[in-house]
Amino acid sequence: MEYQDSEKAVEVATRVEAFMDEVVLPREREALANDEVITNDEIEAMWEMAKDRDLFAPQMPEKYGGQGLDFSDMLPSFEQVGRSLIGALSIRANAPQEGNMHTLEMVGTDEQKEQWLRPLVQGEISSGFSMTEPMQGGGSDPKMLRTTAEKDGDEWVINGHKWWTTDGLTADFLLVMARTNMDAHPYSGTSIILVPTDTDGVNIVRNIPHMGGHSITEREGGHAEIKFENVRVPVENTVGEENEGFQIAQMRLGGGRLTHCMRYSGMAERSLDIAKAYLSKREAFGDPLAEKQSLRHKIADAETKLHAARAIVRHAARELDRSEARIEVAMSKTYTANVTNEIIDLAVQCCGANGIGRDLPLAHFYEDVRTFRIVDGADEVHRRSIAREAFEDIKEEELEYICRFDTNRQMH
Ligand SMILES: Cc1cc2nc3c(=O)[nH]c(=O)nc-3n(C[C@H](O)[C@H](O)[C@H](O)COP(=O)(O)OP(=O)(O)OC[C@H]3O[C@@H](n4cnc5c(N)ncnc54)[C@H](O)[C@@H]3O)c2cc1C
């Protein structure tokens, strides 16, 4: 399928595809077949290969060691890395590191970029993004954020309780969302503060046990529950403007949601590739399964929906280059999350018991993709925004006509 990607985007994605096919997927298959863990040394060796092939950190400017691609140009490469369980990691384009790099690059000070961004891009350090809080705090409704940062001289004093901070166990620093002006609405009184994890008062409570926790690499940063108890960091650790944390998080999440969509589209594509291969080899009731019309129709629908997802995400990416594109991103995220969930579920079904086993990556994909309907805004939250916009656009003529059926003939 052609998607009007730029020449540059296609050229890089073709090279990423070759890297996946030649280096990453063979090692992934071998690790799955032999129940092996891919070591940190192996991942670092892949990074060196990715650097040699000019594929490393495509989302970052060249001066930090990345490839300097603009947003639309890097998207097709994210789709390619999504095909493997270790694809994004193998070129240092994995969440949440990619989003944290993006945030620091967008709004960090020169000093923050030198001290934290440069080594983060190179993989010398790791990071986490701490926004979500337990029960009474911020989750789907981020206005409920309870973590606070109060100024004491030239320091922030942070107190709060976060959970689900991805890679929190291995992070060298966290980007923490905290209320910094309790008198203001949370949207105009919240900041992002960079907190090194070795600061006194940063207490990692636990790694939250979760569905999909079967990493095939040594690099498992977990999903951490963290308490911040009188944590003191310099005021210059504020990332971006003070009290503009939500605006910055929104910028981070807009692009981040689309890179997620592309990674998960790649995962769905690989799942379909595996399912089609299995169906064409496996026979039942006298024919290859690939000849069964009921299955062929399901594969046809899956191909159609995956194509639609790729198109809607690319459209949102083009809009995002021009504007906030909130609704386009919400539509892309919700649609792609549901379609990739459906497709990976179908692939599991098509492969029978092999879909459940861990010789294939499908069981990993299946567990992983389920989170996509919740993280980066649950389905319902995005639908809420889409519906709000949809109802703003009720046509006057239709309202008038509908009012004919109102026995009181009243317009509302
Ligand atoms: C694997 C994983 C990784 C994560 N990584 C991070 C991370 O790195 N950093 C971080 O800060 N957070 C992270 N999160 C947390 C994630 O961002 C939150 O789970 C998400 O924002 C939803 O918040 P919640 O879990 O508090 O759900 P809740 O707010 O408790 O909502 C529960 C459910 O209610 C429904 N719902 C919510 N609002 C509405 C509505 N208006 N109408 C109808 N239904 C609604 C939705 O179905 C939602 O799933 C991660 C979560 C997971 C599972």
pLDDT grade for 411, boundaries at 50, 70 and 90: low
- Residue 409 has a pLDDT of 62
309 by DSSP, 3-state: which? helix
Q: Mind spelling out the 3-state secondary structure of 96-137?
A: CHHHHHHHHHHHCCHHHHHHHHHHHHHCCCCEEEECCCCCCC
311 and 197 in a common domain: no
- Residue 2 has a pLDDT of 80
235 and 257 in a common domain: no
What CA–CA distance (Å, rounded) separates 87 from 124?
Answer: 19
The pairing of beta strand 202-207 with beta strand 127-130: unpaired
Residue 400 lies in a domain: no
300 and 220 in a common domain: no
How many Cα atoms within 13 Å fall on the side-chain side of residue 313?
34
266 and 183 in a common domain: no
Residue whose CA lies nearest to ligand 1 atom number 9: 165
pLDDT > 60? residue 46: yes
**C-alpha of residue 166 to centroid of ligand 1, in Å:** 13
Q: What is the dihedral of CA 332, 334, 335, 339, to 10 degrees?
A: 130
| Total domain count, the chain | 3
Residue 118 lies in a domain: no
- Residue 322 has a pLDDT of 86
Residue whose CA lies nearest to ligand 1 atom number 37: 140
**C-alpha of residue 275 to centroid of ligand 1, in Å:** 31
Average confidence (pLDDT) over 130-154 = 97
pLDDT grade for 71, boundaries at 50, 70 and 90: confident
- Residue 412 has a pLDDT of 52
pLDDT > 90? residue 393: no
Average confidence (pLDDT) over 11-17 = 97
**Residues enclosing ligand 1, CB less than 6 A?**
96, 129-132, 139-140, 164-166, 223, 371, 374-375, 378, 380-381, 384
Q: What is the mean pLDDT of the chain?
A: 95
φ, ψ of residue 75 in degrees (nearest 5)? -55, -50
pLDDT grade for 254, boundaries at 50, 70 and 90: confident
pLDDT > 80? residue 382: yes
Average confidence (pLDDT) over 247-252 = 92
pLDDT > 60? residue 276: yes
CATH at residue 386: 1.20.140.10
Average confidence (pLDDT) over 14-25 = 98
81 by DSSP, 3-state: which? helix
Average confidence (pLDDT) over 29-57 = 96
Tell which one of 374, 382, 384, 388 to mutate to probe ligand 1, the residue whose CB is within 8 A of the most ligand atoms: 374
273 and 223 in a common domain: no
Residue whose CA lies nearest to ligand 1 atom number 31: 140
Is the CB of residue 246 less than 8 Å from the CB of residue 231? no
Residue 121 lies in a domain: no
**C-alpha of residue 174 to centroid of ligand 1, in Å:** 19
Domain of residue 370 covers 246-391
Angle at 349 between CA 343 and CA 353, to 5 degrees: 140
What CA–CA distance (Å, rounded) separates 395 from 51?
Answer: 54
> pLDDT digits over 309-328, tens only?
999 999 999 998 888 899 99
- Residue 356 has a pLDDT of 97
- Residue 70 has a pLDDT of 87
φ, ψ of residue 37 in degrees (nearest 5)? -100, 130
Residue 119 lies in a domain: no
